[in-house]
């Protein structure tokens, strides 16, 4: 046991020497050995994060700083350095969150203050980033309202929406959105709250079974919600339950006969089932509603080819190229 500990310390110390010599690849190799022998060695993760950061591998650096934080949750330096990596990836919200945490742990931490100011300056430098910064400030305001009144369903909903659309969000932000809309559902259930939580499960986390449950709840509260049927249908389609998906798209179209996404999604189901004649009908309806959508022509052409209607297929391929001349895939088929 002592021998293994001695080896761990040997590789850690050698890794630190390589790090000080700026030989980051060699340092990483030694830190890798350290964590393989001692998986709870927080400082090895911390300095491995430093190496990845210096090599501009910011995502890997974040992983390692996160691991270090898991073992030492009061390490202001790890938060500050992870925040720097987030800022380099233009993920401004988690960067500010980490700088805030570092400053809370060490109010005299000058670098954390300076890095946070730098992010604020970047956010104010262009309109899109400035809008994100405004949403961050709004998140803080709604958080204060929630702290004052934990039963304020509107504040949870508004904060969740800001989390969802803040530039640079990551999975942590999505989990926060889910938590906020779960609170809304518990306090004041609504079709919109279920649909928003369903969006997180469907689009961001790909947890389609949970999304189906939420869209089903949304439909019960709002039976004429065409979007909820369409989105539940998409989940069924991803789960390869095409019959259920088609039934939902049918209902969405019944409720809104001019819903282009429902026609597109139903056509994709028919294509997967090799029911090309039915897919053709939907693509044809889609180009009537939305005549400037090149993918509709492209996929309709694919169906024509399957049905050996080659002249009609070529005409649609040419139309797709006309609408999107830079698409190489369309050009290859139009020749």
pLDDT level of residue 74 (50, 70, 90 thresholds): confident
Structural domain includes residue 89? no
pLDDT level of residue 218 (50, 70, 90 thresholds): very high
- Count structural domains, the chain: 1
Give the separation between CA 321 and CA 335, rounded to whole angstroms: 10
Structural domain includes residue 284? no
pLDDT, tens digit (0-9, with 9 covering 90-100), for 129-169:
566 667 777 888 999 999 999 999 999 999 998 888 764 45
Mean predicted lDDT score pLDDT of the chain: 89
Task: Identify the pLDDT of residue 223.
Answer: 94
pTM (2 decimals)? Answer: 0.67
For residue 47, what are the CA distances in angstroms to 17, 61, 198, 296? Answer: 11, 9, 39, 51
Taking residues 308-320, report their average pLDDT. 94
Question: Which residue has 């279920």 as its token pair?
Answer: 194
Task: Identify the pLDDT of residue 1.
Answer: 43
Give the separation between CA 281 and CA 271, rounded to whole angstroms: 11
pLDDT level of residue 73 (50, 70, 90 thresholds): confident
Task: Identify the pLDDT of residue 167.
Answer: 43
Percent of the chain with pLDDT over 90: 60
Structural domain includes residue 148? yes
For residue 244, what are the CA distances in angstroms to 168, 202, 247, 252, 285? Answer: 35, 16, 5, 13, 21
What are the tokens at 215?
A: 């869209």
CATH number at residue 160: 1.25.40
Structural domain includes residue 57? no
Task: Identify the pLDDT of residue 189.
Answer: 95
Structural domain boundaries, residue 166: 128-188
**Could you tell me which residue, 120 or 87, shows the higher pLDDT?**
87
Percent of the chain with pLDDT over 70: 93
Structural domain includes residue 166? yes
Task: Identify the pLDDT of residue 168.
Answer: 45
Q: Say if residue 86 is exposed, middle or buried (CB neighbours under 10 Å; 0-12, 13-18, 19+).
A: buried
Q: Which range (118-127, 234-243, 294-303) has the least confidence?
A: 118-127
Structural domain includes residue 170? yes
Give the separation between CA 212 and CA 263, rounded to whole angstroms: 20
pLDDT, tens digit (0-9, with 9 covering 90-100), for 232-287:
999 999 999 999 999 999 999 999 999 999 999 999 999 999 999 999 999 999 99
What are the tokens at 106?
A: 């060490």
Structural domain includes residue 141? yes
Structural domain includes residue 253? no
Closest alpha carbon to 105 in 73, 62, 58, 139: 73
For residue 43, what are the CA distances in angstroms to 11, 12, 16? Answer: 12, 9, 10
């Amino acid at each position: 046991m002592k021998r293994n500990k001695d080896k761990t310390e040997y590789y850690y110390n050698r890794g630190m020497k390589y790090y000080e010599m700026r030989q980051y690849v060699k340092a990483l190799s030694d830190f890798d050995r350290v964590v393989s022998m001692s998986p709870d060695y927080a400082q090895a993760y911390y300095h491995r994060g430093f190496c990845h950061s210096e090599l501009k591998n910011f995502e890997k650096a974040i992983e390692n700083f996160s691991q270090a934080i898991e073992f030492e949750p009061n390490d202001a330096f790890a938060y500050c350095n992870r925040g720097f990596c987030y800022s380099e990836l233009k993920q401004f919200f988690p960067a500010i969150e980490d700088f805030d945490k570092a400053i809370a742990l060490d109010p005299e931490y000058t670098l954390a203050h300076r890095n946070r100011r730098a992010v604020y300056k970047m956010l104010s430098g262009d309109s899109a980033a400035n809008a994100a910064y405004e949403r961050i400030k709004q998140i803080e305001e709604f958080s204060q309202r929630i702290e004052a009144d934990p039963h304020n369903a509107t504040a949870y909903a508004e904060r969740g929406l800001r989390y969802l659309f803040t530039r640079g969000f990551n999975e942590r932000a999505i989990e926060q959105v889910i938590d906020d809309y779960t609170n809304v559902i518990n306090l004041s259930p609504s079709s919109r709250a279920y649909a928003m939580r369903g969006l997180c499960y469907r689009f961001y986390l790909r947890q389609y079974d949970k999304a189906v449950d939420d869209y089903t709840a949304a439909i019960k509260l709002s039976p004429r919600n065409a979007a909820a049927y369409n989105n539940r249908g998409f989940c069924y389609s991803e789960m390869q339950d095409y019959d259920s998906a088609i039934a939902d798209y049918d209902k969405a179209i019944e409720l809104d006969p001019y819903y282009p996404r429902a026609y597109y999604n139903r056509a994709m189901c028919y294509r997967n089932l090799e029911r090309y004649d039915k897919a053709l009908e939907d693509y044809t309806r889609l180009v009537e509603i939305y005549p400037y959508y090149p993918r509709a022509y492209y996929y309709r052409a694919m169906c024509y080819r399957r049905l050996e209607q080659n002249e009609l297929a070529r005409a649609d391929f040419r139309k797709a190229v006309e609408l999107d001349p830079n698409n190489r895939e369309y050009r290859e088929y139009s020749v």
